[in-house]
Amino acid sequence: MNGSSTPIAEGVQQLVNNIQVNIVEHSRESVVNYIPHLEMEFESEVATYDFYNEYSKKMGFGIRREYGNKSKIDGVLTSRRFTCFKEGNRGVDKRDYLTKEPRAETRTGCQARMVISLDRKIGKYKVVDFVAQHNHMLQPNEYVHMLQCHPLLK
């Protein structure tokens, strides 16, 4: 690329290109049907996970359940955060100096997430927070099945 381009700008451009390729490869309707939005409703936490997992598969990233809050009164899950699998950073390990060949760092501090909360009035979970921007490259479709949450065989 040209000399004035920064690595961050190049990365953002590559991310945009990857998203555009994913949209072209899947029909626009099928991708649009899987884009989460605020106030979206789900019957259960499992249904929400399945939906966000399918969305992440189509877009080229993996997800994990970051945390969940349960009611102390009845033990019902009241909220849950699903994050990109590259969310956060590796903690400092006191054994680092003993490690001969440490594993490669996979986390980038990605802020992409979807948060749901139980609406007790209707008994459904609603999306209360959604961030779609990633700070890393998304996986091409031919490699998505290699992510832990998207196995080829289930």
Confidence of residue 16 (pLDDT cuts 50, 70, 90): low
Confidence of residue 1 (pLDDT cuts 50, 70, 90): very low
- pLDDT number for residue 30: 56
Instruction: Examine the pLDDT at 7 and tell me if it is beyond 80.
Output: no
- pLDDT tens digits, 100-141: 777 777 777 889 999 999 999 999 999 999 999 988 888 887
Question: Rounded to whole angstroms, how far apart are CA atoms 54 and 149?
Answer: 10
- At residue 60, the 3 state secondary structure works out as coil
Percent of the chain with pLDDT over 90: 32
- At residue 42, the 3 state secondary structure works out as strand
The distance of Cα 151 from the centroid of its chain, to the nearest Å, equals 16
| pTM for this predicted structure | 0.70
- pLDDT number for residue 119: 94
Neighbours of 87 (CB within 10 A): 20
93-96 contact pairs (CB < 8 A, 24+): none
Angle made by CA atoms 105, 19, 113, in degrees to the nearest 5: 55
